[in-house]
A and B are shown apart, each in its own frame.
Chain A
C-alpha cells in the first residue's frame, strides 16, 4: 500500500459538475482529491480487505437475529422500546437490504481492524462507484497509468444487480433532506442505477413526504405530492432520527417497504462494536470495545470514545498512546458512548500539501458481498465529513 503523487486531470472539475458531482469542493476545501492515489497489491486487496470484509459482514449478520430478540442488547443499542417489534418483524420477514460500508484501519500489513459500521445511510457512494472508476479509465487512456491497473470497485455492477433482483414496489421512491447536496448526489446516483436496472423511480424531498389516515386506528400511509401512496422508499435519512420524529408512527402503521429496512438500525450504531467484541473476543479484525457506563474510569491513553449515534467523526474523543488528546466537535453529545481501543490510522506524507495525511479505508458491501473500497484522508487521526476522498488502484 503506497501513496503516489499524480497529476490531476485537466478538466475534472467541469466534468464533475456535468455529472452532478457538485460537492467535489466544500467551503473552498477539496473533498475529491486526485493529486495522489493509493496503490495496493492484489494480495492486499483480496486477503487483507475483501475477505475480512465478507467475514465481518457475516459475523454481523449472524448477530442481528439475536439482537432483535434480546431486551438487554436492544436497550444497550438505545433502540426505542416502541420499535422493538417493528425491528424484529423487519428482520424476521426478511426485509431486504441494499448496501453498507464498514470503516477499516489498514496500513498495508497485518489484519485490517474494524472501526465502525455505516449500514444505514452510507454516502461516498457516487465518488467510489462512479467518479474514481472514471478517474482510472481516464488516467489509463491518458497513458499516465498502465493499462493493467485495476481497482477494487464493483460497486455499480453489484448495486445494479441488486436492484434487478430486489422485488420492490412500483413506482419506487427515493428521499433525502431537501437542502443537502451530498445526500442528494448519493440518492441521484442510486436512482440512476435503479433506473438502469429497469425500475420506475421517483424522487421526493424528505420534507415533502405526506401522511394520510388516522394515527388512532393505525391507518396512516405515506403519500407523495400527488397524494399517491408511497409503497416503497429508499431513505437517505437515519433510522435513529426517523423514529424520534412526528411521522415515526406512520412508518409502523403503513405498508411502505423501507430501504434500508428497520433492522439496519442495529448496524448503524457504534453499540454493535462492543457486542461484536463480546461475541468474538480477540478476532484479528476487531478492536476491544465496551459500553461506557456511569462507573467507567476516566478514559485512558490508547482509547477512543464514540457516541452510539454519530456521523462523520462528530463528537469523537481519543487519547493517543502518547497521552495526546484529540477531539472532534459535533451535535451528538446528547447520547450514550462506547469506548474502543485505539488503533491509529496510518500516516502518509502528502507531498502536494507538504503535510501528514491519516488514511482510513471504507469497504463496501452490497447485498452480502464485498464490493470495493474508498479512501479518506484527514490531517488528524479523526476522519470527518471534510476529509478528502482519494482514488486507488490495484497494481502488482
Chain B
C-alpha cells in the first residue's frame, strides 16, 4: 500500500500556555490596585499598605518590560497604558514601559494571614508576622491588553484574577531587571506579498 496507514487529526487547536509545574512550596501574598483598596480591605494597616505600594512603585521602573517605541508597548498593554521609562537608549532616545496597574504585597501581616483561605490546603504555609517567612519581594503588577482582568508580574506571570489574597510559588514572582522586548520584526514582507507558502 502506497498510502499512509492512518491519517488522523487530534488537536487542531493551539495548545494553552502552561504554568511551570514544580514541587516548590507555595507562599501567600496580597494583590491590590492601590493602597486605599488595601486599607479598606482591613488585612493590613494603612501604614503597611502605603509602604508596600511605595516599594512596588520604586521597583516599577526597574523591572517593567521596556520597549523602544510606544506603539509596541501599547500593542502588548493597550492604548494609553504605557508611559515613558526613566532610562534612555544609548543614543538618548526614550524607552517605554507599561503603567503599573497594581501591586503584590509579599509581606503578610499575621492578623490577615490567619483568616486567609487558600486553595490546596495541604500545601498551605501559614503566613507569619510582617516580613518573617516571606521570600517574595513586594512588586508592581501589570495587565496585558488581551487579558484585562489578570494581574501579571513584570515577567508576565499571571498572579491573580482580582484583588485579595493569592498563593504562588516564590520562583514565579522573582523580580528581574526589566528586559527590552521587541516584537513585530518579522512579517513586513507579508504586507507587500500576498502569499507565503508555495
Nearest CB of chain B from residue A52's CB, rounded to whole Å: 15
- Most B Cβ at <10 Å: residue of A124, A154, A244: A154
Q: Measured between alpha carbons, how far is A20 from B10 in the docked complex, in Å?
A: 12
Of the 9-residue stretches A27-35, A79-87, A195-203, A341-349, which lies at the interface with chain B?
A195-203
A122 contacts B197, CB within 8 Å? yes
Q: Mark A19-44, 1 if CB is under 8 A from B, else 0.
A: 11000000000000000000000100
Asked whether any CB of chain A lies closer than 8 Å to the CB of B21, the reply is no
Contact residues of A between 103 and 152, Cβ < 8 Å to B: 118, 120-124, 129-130, 133-134, 136, 150-152
Of the 9-residue stretches B54-62, B115-123, B187-195, which lies at the interface with chain A?
B187-195
Instruction: Find chain A residues with CB under 8 A from B197 CB.
Output: 121-124, 180, 182-183, 186, 236, 311
B196 contacts A177, CB within 8 Å? yes
Nearest CB of chain A from residue B188's CB, rounded to whole Å: 5
Of the 9-residue stretches B1-9, B40-48, B127-135, which lies at the interface with chain A?
B1-9
Contact residues of B between 140 and 198, Cβ < 8 Å to A: 155-157, 179-190, 192-198
A123 contacts B12, CB within 8 Å? no
Asked whether any CB of chain A lies closer than 8 Å to the CB of B93, the reply is no
How many interface residues does chain A have, given as a range?
A: 35 or more
A45 contacts B195, CB within 8 Å? no
Nearest CB of chain A from residue B195's CB, rounded to whole Å: 5
A192 contacts B198, CB within 8 Å? no
Given A207-B187, A312-B198, do A129 and B11 touch, yes or no (CB 8 Å)? no
A210 contacts B198, CB within 8 Å? no
Instruction: Find chain A residues with CB under 8 A from B15 CB.
Output: 195, 200-203
Q: Which one of A155, A191, A200, A245 contacts B185 once the chains associate, using CB atoms below 8 Å?
A: A245
Asked whether any CB of chain B lies closer than 8 Å to the CB of A208, the reply is yes
Asked whether any CB of chain B lies closer than 8 Å to the CB of A385, the reply is yes
Nearest CB of chain A from residue B77's CB, rounded to whole Å: 12
Contact residues of A between 38 and 74, Cβ < 8 Å to B: 42, 45
Asked whether any CB of chain B lies closer than 8 Å to the CB of A331, the reply is yes
Contact residues of A between 300 and 320, Cβ < 8 Å to B: 311-312, 314
Instruction: Find chain A residues with CB under 8 A from B3 CB.
Output: 133, 136, 150-154, 372
Asked whether any CB of chain B lies closer than 8 Å to the CB of A168, the reply is no
B193 contacts A241, CB within 8 Å? yes
Instruction: Find chain B residues with CB under 8 A from A133 CB.
Output: 3-4, 7
Instruction: Find chain B residues with CB under 8 A from A340 CB.
Output: none
A154 contacts B2, CB within 8 Å? yes
Instruction: Find chain B residues with CB under 8 A from A157 CB.
Output: 4-6
Query: Chain A interface mostly helix, strand, loop or mixed?
Result: mixed
Contact residues of A between 317 and 375, Cβ < 8 Å to B: 331-332, 372
Instruction: Find chain A residues with CB under 8 A from B10 CB.
Output: 192, 195-196
B189 contacts A227, CB within 8 Å? no
B193 contacts A209, CB within 8 Å? no
Closest to A385 in B: B195
Asked whether any CB of chain A lies closer than 8 Å to the CB of B14, the reply is yes
A227 contacts B181, CB within 8 Å? yes
Contact residues of B between 1 and 49, Cβ < 8 Å to A: 1-12, 14-15, 17
Closest to A50 in B: B2
Q: Measured between alpha carbons, how far is A124 from B157 in the docked complex, in Å?
A: 38
Q: Which one of A151, A331, A372 contacts B193 once the chains associate, using CB atoms below 8 Å?
A: A331
Contact residues of A between 192 and 224, Cβ < 8 Å to B: 192, 195-196, 200-203, 206-212, 223
Nearest CB of chain B from residue A39's CB, rounded to whole Å: 14
Q: Measured between alpha carbons, how far is A154 from B6 in the docked complex, in Å?
A: 9
A245 contacts B189, CB within 8 Å? yes
Asked whether any CB of chain B lies closer than 8 Å to the CB of A246, the reply is yes
Instruction: Find chain B residues with CB under 8 A from A237 CB.
Output: 186-187, 190, 196
Q: Measured between alpha carbons, how far is A189 from B7 in the docked complex, in Å?
A: 11
A188 contacts B12, CB within 8 Å? yes
B195 contacts A246, CB within 8 Å? no
Instruction: Find chain A residues with CB under 8 A from B6 CB.
Output: 156-157
Q: Measured between alpha carbons, how far is A196 from B11 in the docked complex, in Å?
A: 9
Asked whether any CB of chain B lies closer than 8 Å to the CB of A238, the reply is yes
Asked whether any CB of chain B lies closer than 8 Å to the CB of A91, the reply is no
B2 contacts A202, CB within 8 Å? no
Asked whether any CB of chain B lies closer than 8 Å to the CB of A278, the reply is no
Q: Measured between alpha carbons, how far is A210 from B180 in the docked complex, in Å?
A: 10
Nearest CB of chain A from residue B173's CB, rounded to whole Å: 14
Q: Measured between alpha carbons, how far is A238 from B186 in the docked complex, in Å?
A: 11
Given A153-B2, A226-B17, A227-B179, do A242 and B186 touch, yes or no (CB 8 Å)? yes
Nearest CB of chain B from residue A385's CB, rounded to whole Å: 5
B187 contacts A245, CB within 8 Å? yes
Instruction: Find chain A residues with CB under 8 A from B194 CB.
Output: 331, 385
Instruction: Find chain A residues with CB under 8 A from B196 CB.
Output: 121, 176-177, 180, 183, 236-238, 241, 311
Asked whether any CB of chain B lies closer than 8 Å to the CB of A394, the reply is yes
14 A–B contact pairs at CB < 8 A? Answer: A19-B9, A20-B9, A130-B7, A189-B9, A195-B15, A211-B185, A227-B155, A227-B156, A237-B186, A241-B190, A312-B195, A314-B195, A331-B193, A372-B3
Q: Which residues of A contact B (CB under 8 A)?
A: 19-20, 42, 45, 101, 118, 120-124, 129-130, 133-134, 136, 150-158, 176-178, 180, 182-183, 186, 188-189, 191-192, 195-196, 200-203, 206-212, 223, 225-227, 236-238, 241-242, 244-247, 250, 268, 311-312, 314, 331-332, 372, 385, 394
